[in-house]
């Protein structure tokens, strides 16, 4: 079983996103298309050989706590060793830090293989790479040398230590304290909850990036600072030494993603836990957002990976398994047909194809925006790419995580009872994937971020950039020679974009007239509306790329049926999904909002 | 934690369904409202004390196979013993068979407690009661005495043994054979798959109701006959004797509902497996449909039970857990508010309330139709009730199973990370509930049944009855004094009903012009459309009942906020959900249908 289709990945990179333009940027000058192909081939091979085989084992044999320590199944280290030996922890890191300086577009494409093969193991790497990136942006040179470099090398692993038992979504209410020791170091005290990879012996050290409140700091998010809290303290040469009193208080036992150990940690209990500050006092959340935004894209790339694996698996099954006959065939003596011949099975396959391939293009486009933000020559282009990335990040996180879970729902359904058993990987993808609408900010939080912040920042410039970029695609789609349907599909997207504008206008009016609480009650519907529009935009871009290749696609290795599949799925998304935006706008524009007006005492 | 709210259940029975009318039928003359209350109270107590406590254990400690036998966790027998001692296996059975002769409306309401508390244990009872009902309708007097009575007493348990490895949804292709022994007995040979409760030592015997093909029978469904195949053969006095060579070939390990052992069985292997025929040769599927239709309603009552348990649990959590502040509150020094204060949490609670209470009313209405079909005085009334029940059964099965699973999705989401852990019951409800769109005929099969058979049978009379009954409700809702909104909500349902008519007209035209295969490709959307309309109808009935009680509800024990909650949820469903039918009709009426027109080779 393959979990990612390499040809679809290549089409996404070369035709939809035009990776060539990214590679032309000076920041990525050390790479060319051929070296990239090597990276992707290596990722495919390692994911297939070292990650995929233990996917089920990590669920059957989850990490456990013994004498205050975490015991991980050996398969995790076996997988991550291969990742480290390939230098993949440093995929996007700078060469002077020992990194490969790959465009994020490529790094995320390569990492998708690992997420699709075995997300529970891949998570350790995702957290570590994000933690290293945070220190690359906000750490001091010494912090980079002592903590970041070992993460780039994969010797130390990283965590995000944000939540606490009383403060999950509401980070402003965290209570862990930091007492200054006067030399830039702090003594930390408190309890951290939901810390993935929070304790184990697998690596030389663990670098917790921990939010805490310096004693006397103001309440709320402004009083939050960020600290490096290592599991073992480093000596002057950076060698891990004595234990730093990060105490394992317990494990959370999850429905899925069980191989990623999830911990409750106490710090400063029974002994000193020493941390050093990153950025300045009160800068904690701003610094942490570097990592959170990466993680938000990262987890929904994981959702895409699940959609892809589920799609390919259920497609193979549907082609092989025979069952039933067409409704026009009443003769029971005729042979049964394959599942893929049934219209409803094809419907469920088409939804999955749209989610998997569209999600891949959507997510890797965000990575491309990151590359442009980093490497583009003009400041204006960098700023705009950053704004569009900020706007689309919560949309990708929330909308794609739900659509991909729906894809896994359909994958199970195609297999029927077999799909519900643990003999097939689909139920595990479905369970694993259920986490993605929750972690790194629930989808409700993403909706508030989109509507309350991203859509209105810089006077709505990010929203305007989204609309302008989408309309540029509709203009192009209407003008492709030989793609007669392009104009009609573009018109359907135009309608959805107009609805996006109307929705935000309604919300702005509500906000002025009745305040943020009333206005924000429409945020979840607005998120779905923008998500559908962005999905439609993505698929129109895919359709456009396929239409442009139709005359000469085979020269680049795309068979006619491959391109026909892209065009047909584009047709499906624009004609059959994007029009759902009409109902969503109705909900947003309706005078009353039952979820908002319902009173607690009416609920039951 | 309570898993069913008794006041809501009572309101459903007395105000929405008017149980009094059912109790007035001579068939149920032995009962009155007070004795019914006793039954419901007993169900609540037994479910809470004997079923609920082991819900998690049955998942942690699933049945296993040892030396060809199934070892069940002891908690299952502990629960079922209580069910048996209360005489509940005979809830709907006739008094001359030792039954309680309860209306099905009451029996299903009582059983909902057990399904909500511990579906894995309750399934054994559901299968047994359905098997007994099948024999009550189709068995010979001797078969009833020897096999049905012990099931009514709960001494023998029953199974449905239909599927085979090569024939899951396509029952016409089963290959198990039956060779006549000349005395009404047969030797069976073959393999049965997905048999819940197929092997264990918990009861004196197991009665498999098994489909097989008498040697020489025609291919397809017409060649299928039904057999009683006991695990142990009975002697002349009905005592279980020697083993009947029903060989346990393996277990299926499921994502959820793990306590319900799911088996692969071989018959006639290494020794004779003897069965006796029920009904005549070739009558197997017709007889089995008695049981399948009950099971279809039964599994979606299970889905309702999951929705109810998840709703009540997440509501309690949302009221207790404080997190965050309202969007208008920027001062971090103010206390955090409870989750229920957040608009998006209320949205997710409202969807659950609608699914749980609406599903309960929808499902128990089907039971009422069964009671009318059985006990009404005129043949016309009985026939009409039967037709409407036939029409609504696949709708309830398919639509409610998906809506309830969405409710469990929301329950998890409200708890966030906590909801994803095994410390709370929600992830287990979600996993258990995922089976319901699959078993007893996948939802795709239900859609084909609805569109291809139920909507067109008797010249469309069942569909016409559904429309007429719904329109009677809209007429009444428009005329309630003091319910100013009733007419507007009724109008919204009228629009949906008109769309149902249009959808079936489109499909009929397609069928005439292009054949069944093209027409049936729209079946899944038509199912969703009818499901939403039926859900809207159900909620308009609930709203109507609440509106009628508003003046004097407290006299019957319904506080004003209780009735306001019903009216508000009715408003939510009619205003915010039922209009989704517009998009569904668009999909059905569209010229092209991408899922149908996609070619296999385009899919990937």
Whether chain B has a CB inside 8 Å of the CB on A316: the answer is: no
Confidence of residue B298 (pLDDT cuts 50, 70, 90): very high
B142/B571 Cα distance (integer angstroms): 54
Give the three-state DSSP class for B73: coil
- Reading the block at residue B597, the tokens are 């027109």
CB B63 within 8 A of CB B72: yes
Q: What is the pLDDT of residues A121-174, one digit of tens each?
A: 999 999 999 999 999 999 999 999 999 999 999 999 999 999 999 999 999 999
In terms of Cα–Cα distance, which of B443, B445, B442, B439 is closest to B127?
Answer: B439
B267/B179 Cα distance (integer angstroms): 12
A267/A204 Cα distance (integer angstroms): 19
Could you say which of A254, A592, A603 has the minimum Cβ distance to residue B421? A254
Percent of chain A with pLDDT over 70: 100
Whether chain B has a CB inside 8 Å of the CB on A345: the answer is: yes
Decide if pLDDT at A554 tops 90: no
Whether chain A has a CB inside 8 Å of the CB on B590: the answer is: yes
Query: Do B576 and A594 lie within an 8 Å CB cutoff?
Result: yes
A170/B323 Cα distance (integer angstroms): 6
- Shortest alpha-carbon distance between residue A566 and chain B (Å): 8
Chain B residues with CB under 8 Å of A565 CB are 598, 601-604
Query: Do B575 and A565 lie within an 8 Å CB cutoff?
Result: no
A414/B348 Cα distance (integer angstroms): 28
Q: What is the DSSP string of B399-441?
A: IIHHHHHHHHHHHHHHHGGGGGBTTSSHHHHHHHHTTTTTSSS
A444/A523 Cα distance (integer angstroms): 8
**Beta-sheet pairing, A177-180 with A205-214:** parallel
Q: Give pTM, 2 decimals.
A: 0.98
Residues 180-219 of B with CB under 8 A from A: 193-194, 218-219
Query: Do A602 and B328 lie within an 8 Å CB cutoff?
Result: no
The pLDDT of residue A360 is: 98
Q: What is the pLDDT of residues B315-329, one digit of tens each?
A: 999 999 999 999 999
Residue B204 burial (10 A CB sphere; 0-12, 13-18, 19+): middle
The yes/no answer to whether this complex scores an ipTM above 0.95 is: yes
Q: What is the pLDDT of residues B528-565, one digit of tens each?
A: 999 999 999 999 999 999 999 998 888 899 999 999 99
B256-275: average pLDDT: 97
Return the DSSP state at A341. Answer: G
**Beta-sheet pairing, B205-214 with B177-180:** parallel
- Reading the block at residue B18, the tokens are 């008017």
Catalytic residue among B15, B44, B403, B440: B440
- Reading the block at residue B357, the tokens are 């209470």
Strand (E) or helix (H) holding B514: helix B486-514
**Beta-sheet pairing, B185-196 with B274-278:** antiparallel
- Reading the block at residue B327, the tokens are 């969007």
Decide if pLDDT at B258 tops 90: yes
Query: Do A323 and B169 lie within an 8 Å CB cutoff?
Result: yes
Decide if pLDDT at B88 tops 90: yes
A207-216: average pLDDT: 98
Helices (H) and strands (E) in chain B, counts: 21, 12
Percent of chain A with pLDDT over 90: 97
Decide if pLDDT at A27 tops 90: yes
Mean pLDDT of chain A: 97
Query: Do A417 and B353 lie within an 8 Å CB cutoff?
Result: no
A90/A98 Cα distance (integer angstroms): 7
Decide if pLDDT at A260 tops 80: yes
Percent of chain B with pLDDT over 90: 97
Would you tell me the crossing angle of helices B343-375 and B401-415 to the nearest 10 degrees? 150
- Shortest alpha-carbon distance between residue B378 and chain A (Å): 37
Residue B556 burial (10 A CB sphere; 0-12, 13-18, 19+): exposed
Query: Do A413 and B444 lie within an 8 Å CB cutoff?
Result: yes
Could you say which of B172, B194, B516 has the minimum Cβ distance to residue A328? B516
B148/A434 Cα distance (integer angstroms): 43
List A224's β-bridge partners, or say none.
Answer: A213
The pLDDT of residue B443 is: 98
Q: What is the pLDDT of residues A413-440, one digit of tens each?
A: 999 999 999 999 999 999 999 999 999 9
A543/A563 Cα distance (integer angstroms): 8
List B338's β-bridge partners, or say none.
Answer: B322
Query: Do A350 and B595 lie within an 8 Å CB cutoff?
Result: yes
Mean pLDDT of chain B: 97
A31/A203 Cα distance (integer angstroms): 30
Could you say which of B5, B413, B587 has the minimum Cβ distance to residue A437? B413
Strand (E) or helix (H) holding A94: none
A242/A233 Cα distance (integer angstroms): 6
Buried b / exposed e along A401-438 (16+ C-beta atoms within 10 A): bbbbbbbbbbbbbbbbbbbbbbebbbbbbbbbbbbbbb
B285/B267 Cα distance (integer angstroms): 20
Per the listing, tokens 């599949």 go with: A565
Question: Percentage helix, strand, coil, to 5, in chain B?
Answer: 60, 10, 25
- Reading the block at residue B409, the tokens are 């999705």
∠A393-A394-A395 over CA atoms, to 5°?
Answer: 90
B63-88: average pLDDT: 97
Confidence of residue A591 (pLDDT cuts 50, 70, 90): confident
Percent of chain B with pLDDT over 70: 100
Return the DSSP state at A434. Answer: T
Confidence of residue B363 (pLDDT cuts 50, 70, 90): very high
The pLDDT of residue B1 is: 77
Query: Do B422 and A516 lie within an 8 Å CB cutoff?
Result: no
A389/A395 Cα distance (integer angstroms): 10
B590/B512 Cα distance (integer angstroms): 17
Q: What is the pLDDT of residues A469-510, one digit of tens each?
A: 999 999 999 999 999 999 999 999 999 999 999 999 999 999
Return the DSSP state at B29. Answer: T
Confidence of residue B290 (pLDDT cuts 50, 70, 90): confident
In terms of Cα–Cα distance, which of A258, A304, A291 is closest to A403?
Answer: A304
Confidence of residue B462 (pLDDT cuts 50, 70, 90): very high
Whether chain A has a CB inside 8 Å of the CB on B334: the answer is: no
Residues 125-154 of B with CB under 8 A from A: none
CB A595 within 8 A of CB A521: yes
- Reading the block at residue A591, the tokens are 């005078």
The pLDDT of residue B591 is: 87
CB A265 within 8 A of CB A246: yes
- Shortest alpha-carbon distance between residue A414 and chain B (Å): 9
- Shortest alpha-carbon distance between residue B151 and chain A (Å): 27
Chain A CA closest to residue B525: A344
Residues 6+ apart with CB under 8 A from B260: B119, B120, B121, B123, B124, B196, B197
A521-531: average pLDDT: 98
- Please state whether A270 falls in left (phi above 0), alpha (psi between -120 and 50) or beta: left
Mutate one of A416, A422, A562, A582 to test the B interface: name it (highest B CB count within 10 A): A416
- Reading the block at residue B103, the tokens are 């209306």
The pLDDT of residue A201 is: 94
Buried b / exposed e along B463-472 (16+ C-beta atoms within 10 A): bbbbbeebee
- Shortest alpha-carbon distance between residue A104 and chain B (Å): 26
Confidence of residue A314 (pLDDT cuts 50, 70, 90): very high
B441/B292 Cα distance (integer angstroms): 9
Decide if pLDDT at B183 tops 90: no
Return the DSSP state at A264. Answer: E
Q: What is the pLDDT of residues A37-68, one digit of tens each?
A: 999 999 999 999 999 999 999 999 999 999 99
- A406 Cα distance to chain centroid: 16
In terms of Cα–Cα distance, which of A147, A427, A111 is closest to B253?
Answer: A427
Decide if pLDDT at A1 tops 80: no
In terms of Cα–Cα distance, which of B569, B518, B236, B441 is closest to A594?
Answer: B569
Could you say which of A323, A409, A594 has the minimum Cβ distance to residue B168? A323
């Amino acid at each position: 079983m393959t979990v990612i289709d390499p040809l679809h990945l290549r089409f996404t990179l070369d035709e939809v996103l035009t990776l060539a333009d990214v590679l032309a940027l000076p920041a990525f000058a050390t790479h060319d298309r051929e070296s990239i192909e090597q990276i992707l081939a290596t990722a495919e091979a390692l994911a297939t050989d070292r990650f995929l085989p233990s996917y089920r084992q990590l669920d059957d044999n989850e990490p456990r706590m013994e004498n205050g320590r975490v015991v991980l199944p050996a398969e995790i280290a076996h997988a991550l060793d291969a990742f480290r030996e390939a230098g993949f922890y440093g995929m996007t890191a700078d060469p002077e830090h020992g990194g490969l300086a790959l465009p994020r577009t490529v790094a995320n494409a390569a990492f998708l293989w690992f997420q699709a093969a075995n997300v529970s193991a891949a998570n350790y790497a995702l957290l570590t790479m994000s933690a290293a990136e945070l220190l690359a942006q906000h750490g001091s040179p010494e912090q980079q040398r002592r903590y970041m470099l070992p993460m780039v090398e994969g010797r130390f692993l990283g965590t995000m230590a944000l939540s606490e038992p009383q403060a999950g979504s509401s980070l402003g209410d965290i209570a862990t304290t930091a007492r200054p020791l006067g030399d830039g170091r702090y003594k930390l005290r408190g309890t951290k909850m939901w810390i993935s990879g929070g304790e184990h012996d697998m690596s030389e050290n663990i670098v917790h990036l921990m939010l805490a409140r310096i004693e006397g700091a103001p309440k709320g998010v402004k009083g939050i600072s960020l600290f490096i809290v290592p599991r073992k303290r480093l000596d002057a040469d950076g060698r891990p030494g004595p234990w730093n009193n990060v105490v394992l208080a317990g494990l959370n036992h999850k429905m899925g993603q069980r191989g990623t150990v999830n911990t409750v940690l106490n710090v400063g209990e029974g002994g000193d836990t020493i941390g050093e500050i990153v950025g300045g006092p009160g800068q904690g959340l701003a610094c942490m957002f570097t990592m959170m935004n990466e993680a938000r894209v990262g987890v929904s790339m994981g959702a895409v990976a699940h959609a892809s694996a589920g799609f390919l698996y259920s497609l193979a099954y549907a082609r092989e398994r025979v069952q039933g006959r067409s409704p026009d065939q009443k003769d029971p003596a005729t042979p049964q047909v394959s599942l893929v011949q049934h219209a409803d099975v094809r419907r469920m396959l088409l939804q999955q194809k749209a989610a998997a391939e569209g999600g891949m293009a959507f997510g890797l486009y965000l990575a491309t925006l990151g590359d442009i933000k980093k490497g583009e020559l003009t400041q204006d282009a960098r700023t705009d790419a950053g704004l569009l990335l900020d706007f689309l990040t919560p949309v990708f996180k929330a909308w794609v995580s739900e659509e991909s879970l729906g894809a896994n729902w359909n994958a199970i359904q195609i297999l029927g009872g077999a799909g519900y058993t643990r003999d097939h990987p689909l139920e595990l993808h479905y369970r694993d994937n259920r986490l993605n609408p929750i972690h790194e900010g629930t989808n409700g939080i993403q909706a508030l971020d989109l509507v309350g912040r991203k859509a209105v920042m810089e006077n709505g410039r990010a929203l305007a950039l989204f609309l302008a970029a989408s309309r540029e695609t509709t203009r192009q789609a209407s003008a492709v020679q030989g793609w007669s349907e392009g104009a009609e599909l573009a018109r359907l997207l135009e309608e959805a974009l107009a609805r996006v504008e109307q929705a935000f206008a309604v919300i702005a009016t509500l906000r002025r007239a009745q305040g943020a609480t009333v206005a924000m009650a429409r945020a979840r519907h607005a998120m779905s509306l923008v998500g559908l529009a962005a999905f439609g935009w993505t698929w129109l871009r895919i359709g456009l790329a396929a239409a442009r290749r139709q005359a000469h696609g085979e020269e680049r290795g795309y068979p006619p049926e491959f391109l026909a599949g892209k065009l047909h799925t584009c047709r499906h998304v624009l004609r059959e999904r994007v029009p759902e935006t009409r109902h969503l706008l109705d909900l947003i524009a309706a005078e009353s909002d039952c979820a908002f007006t319902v009173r607690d005492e009416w609920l039951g």
